[in-house]
Amino acid sequence: MVLLLFYDAAAFVEDEKHALIQSNWWSYHYTNDSYHNIAVNPCEWEEITCNEFGSITKLWRPIIPRKQPRLVDLNLTAFPNLEYLGLFGMGLVGIIPTQIGSLHNLIDLDLYNNNLTGIIPTQIGNLYNLIYLFLDENKLSGIIPTQIGSLQNLTYLYLDKNKLTGNIPIQIGALQNLIDLSMSNNNLVGEFPTILTNLPQLERLDLSSNNISGHFPIIKDLTHLDYFNLSNNKICGSIPREIGNLSLLQSLDLSQNKLNGSLPSFKSNYLFVANFSHNKISGNIPSNLCTYSNMPYVDLSYNNIIGNIPKELGQLKVINFSYNSLTGHVPREVYCKFPHDILYGNKELLGLEKNQSCSNHKNMYSYMKIILPMVVFFIIVLFVFVLFRTLKKNKKTKIERREPKNGDLFSIWNYDGKIAYEDIIKATEDFDIKYCIGIGAYGSVYRAQLPSGRIVALKKLHRSEYGNPSFAKSFHNEVKMLTEIRHRNIVKLHGFCLHNQCMFLIYEYMERGSLFYVLSKEDEAKEMDWSKRVNSIKGIANALSYIHHDCTPPITHRDITSSNVLLNSKMESFVSDFGIAKILDPNSSNQTLPMGTCGYVAPELAYTLVVTEKCDVYSFGVVALETIIGRHPGDLILSLTEISSKSILLRDVIDSRLPLPLRRDAQDVILCVTIALACLHPSPKSRPSMKQVSHKLSFSNLALTIPFNDISFQYLMNHDVHIL
């Protein structure tokens, strides 16, 4: 009997070794700075663990000498004792084979961050011992198989960042041991399955960035929940008051839904992050919103919240009230603690009451301890200054010769900021919130009228970021770029102050704000008719063509978004924000860290890290489509690779706030969309240059060969506009 068992084990070992050889993944094994032939015992490899009989129980990702390995190349049926299969981040392509169901001793299946396609096979339900299932960050499609509900031991289930469709199967509600469930960034639809609220051990639930609809679920029974993300869906209704009683909750993200009603209060004693932005939440802010917690971050922006700001919210570390309908004076506890851009967009909101200020009152003794040393220091500095001025009294700089009393900001490119700073402080009343017209990634934008009568826009770095070298570098980079380039569709830089205590840039003022802002507002979007939108697209194309082809060496912007396109009173477009722009070196690989704004970044940057002008071309394609359809085209771009794109009609996608375009406008819209689709080609080499795009937009006379109402995206993708 013992001999028979040994013979069976030996057979397993040979089958396993043969499967490894046939896969070509382990043709050569790399150890100790040299390659060794596969003939050596696989159990001695670092990527493999065996049991006492020499049978493989753990397979870790190998070093593969060839590109694009397929999971089907590995005969999974040859590993009856396999407990762990970790093939993440290998670049696997193709489908998940049905043979996956033969791995009955398997506990951990880890295939995340590959390029797997096709459906999740139903045979995965045969892995009864499975505890960990990671299929996230692939390209899997189809529905989630109901057979997953048979995996009664499953504790961690990650299916996020795929292309899964359909409803969330109710069978998942049978997984009573589930601790972590993530299905974010898919195309899941239907209502939130209430069965998920009965999972007693659930600690993390992430269903964000799908198309889940219906009312907000009652999750009061998820008493172990510490992370809940339902953002970027279509959930409606009010937020249940019971959610505030989840004592272990640490992070809650309900942003970008259709929630209404009032805000609940929370009693969690743990570190807490809450995001309610971009909903339709109304009512007052409860004074006990965070009474029992130590919340560092709360975002209430872009809602319909009314009433006063409770002073109790001053205990928070970060909060955002912008774009609501708040009224009354701002409590001193809030006004004096946070940057004023968190209040932007509340038209009826007032500043501090007249009898209040942000200065701290101390007794005379405390002041003297500070003032006396400062007085001594000031006397020393004054002596040195007088001595220096005496030595230099006959020397005048160019800037000093041309400065009038209040400082001519527009003729100064290099200055210490003293006189101009005084003008700015006076014009903005020390950067009061009422002059703020926008909030950027690292600064706020203010409108200021200078003593000369000229109106300018100022981008000011947030005070909390003054010591951050990366933000300072962005400011310096933007100054460098905008002082060297000039184009009618690139925003003009009039001056700057790069002091270690205050950094701001002074631009020409754009009356209509950003393209993103105009498209997000009903009235402004209607005012921006088809001809204005086409002209805006042309302006962006002309600016990019200039920096790509008319500057030596060429420049790539790297952050073309609708937020970085500004519009003047005529809704003409101007490219702005050159903070991360890069000069392309023809003698360099131009490798860089991934930068830019999510949703606009070219896909090749994720795996090549090489920035080229074709990265801007892709971003332009996104913005051009966004301008025509009136919103970010993320879902549309994903659907273009699917067969269903044949049935997507152009008339059903373009901005419905405008009437359908006629005659010349219809021709121009079709041309813009066709060019945008060409710019979004997955292969950078197949995208047109911006010079080609600019020329085609300016001189094309595209004729309609079929009625506008019959034009589909599939037709436009195959339509030859002679652009390449």
Predicted confidence (pLDDT) at residue 269 exceeds the cutoff of 50: yes
Q: Would you put residue 605 in left (φ > 0), alpha (ψ -120 to 50) or beta?
A: alpha
Distances (CA, A) of 703 to 22, 240, 619: 57, 55, 27
Of the two residues 238 and 18, the one the predictor is more confident about is: 238
Give yes or no for residue 495 having a pLDDT over 70: yes
How many residues comprise the chain?
A: 724
What pLDDT sits at residue 673?
93
| pLDDT digit string, tens, across residues 197-249 | 889 899 889 999 999 999 988 888 888 888 899 999 999 999 998 888 888 88
CB atoms within 10 A of CB 170: 13
What one-character DSSP code corresponds to residue 215?
B
Task: Write down the pLDDT at residue 452.
Answer: 74
Q: Does 720 have pLDDT greater than 80?
A: no
What is the band of 154 on the pLDDT scale with cuts at 50, 70, 90? very high
Q: Using CA atoms, how far apart are residues 82 and 668, in angstroms rounded to an integer? A: 60
Distances (CA, A) of 213 to 120, 135, 170, 243: 24, 24, 15, 19
C-alpha distances in Å from residue 289, one per residue of 1, 227, 326: 70, 18, 16
Tokens for 693? 């795009």
Residue 257, pLDDT > 80, answer yes
Q: String of b and e for 490-501 (b: at least 16 CB within 10 Å)?
A: bbebbbbbbeee
Predicted pLDDT at 21: 81
Taking phi first (over 0 means left), then psi (-120 to 50 degrees means alpha), and beta for anything else, what does residue 32 get? left
Q: What angle (nearest 5°) sits at the alpha carbon of residue 475, between those of residues 473 and 481?
A: 100
Higher pLDDT, 607 or 28: 607
Tell me the pLDDT of the chain averaged across its residues.
79
pLDDT digits (tens, 9 = 90+) for 398-456: 333 333 333 444 434 433 444 466 778 888 888 888 888 776 656 788 888 877 777 88
Whether residue 698 is predicted with pLDDT greater than 50 in this model: the reply is yes
Q: Two tokens at 673?
A: 């969309």
Q: What is the pLDDT of residue 278?
A: 93
- pTM of the entire structure? 0.52
Give percent of the chain above pLDDT 90: 30
User: Are the beta carbons of 551 and 582 closer than 8 angstroms?
Assistant: no
Q: Of 21-30, 481-490, 533-542, which range is least confident?
A: 21-30
The three-state DSSP-derived secondary structure of 362-427 is: CCHHHHHHHHHHHHHHHHHHHHHHHHHHHHHCCCCCHHHHHCCCCCCHHHCCCCCCHHHHHHHHHH
Distance CA 399, CA 594 (A): 39
Cβ proximity of 316 and 340 under 8 Å: no
Per the CB < 8 A criterion, the answer to whether 542 and 622 are in contact is no
Single-letter amino acid code for the residue at 670? I
| Residue type, position 124, single letter | I
The tens digit of pLDDT for each residue in 286-301 reads 877 765 555 567 889 9
pLDDT tens digits, residue range 35-59?
444 446 788 776 788 888 888 888 8
- Please state, as a whole number, how many other Cβ atoms lie within 10 Å of the Cβ of residue 273: 16
Enumerate the β-bridge partners of residue 649: 712
Lowest mean pLDDT across 88-92, 119-123, 566-570: 88-92
When pLDDT is cut at 50, 70 and 90, the band that residue 361 belongs to is: very low
Predicted local confidence at residue 406, as pLDDT: 39
Cα radius of gyration (the chain)? 31
Say whether pLDDT at 303 is over 90.
yes
How, if at all, do strands 455-461 and 582-583 pair?
unpaired
Q: What is the mean pLDDT of residues 554-564?
A: 88
Instruction: Give the 3-state secondary structure of residue 157.
Output: strand
325/346 Cα distance (integer angstroms): 5
Q: Tell which wins on pLDDT, 434 or 720.
A: 434
Q: Name the more confident of 473 and 598.
A: 598
Mean pLDDT on 508-515: 89
Residue with tokens 């289930």: 157
> Has 559 been annotated as catalytic?
yes
Comparing 224-228, 347-351, 370-374, 655-659, the range with the smallest average pLDDT is 370-374
* Pairing outcome for strands 443-449 and 493-499: unpaired
How far is CA 559 from its chain centroid?
12
Reported as a pLDDT band with limits 50, 70 and 90, residue 128 is very high
pLDDT score recorded for residue 588: 47
pLDDT value, residue 624: 96
Token pair belonging to 423: 């003008």
529, pLDDT greater than 50: yes
Instruction: Render pLDDT for 590-639 as a digit per residue (tens, 0 to 9).
Output: 445 556 678 888 887 766 566 788 889 999 999 999 999 999 998 888 77
- Tokens 């706030």 correspond to 657
Query: Residue 164: what pLDDT?
Result: 95
* CB neighbour class for 46 (10 Å; exposed up to 12, middle 13-18, buried from 19): exposed
Confidence category of residue 549, pLDDT binned at 50, 70, 90: confident
Strands (E), 270-331: 273-275, 297-299, 306-307, 318-320, 325-326
Active-site residue (options: 206, 408, 559, 655): 559
pLDDT at residue 530, as a whole number: 95
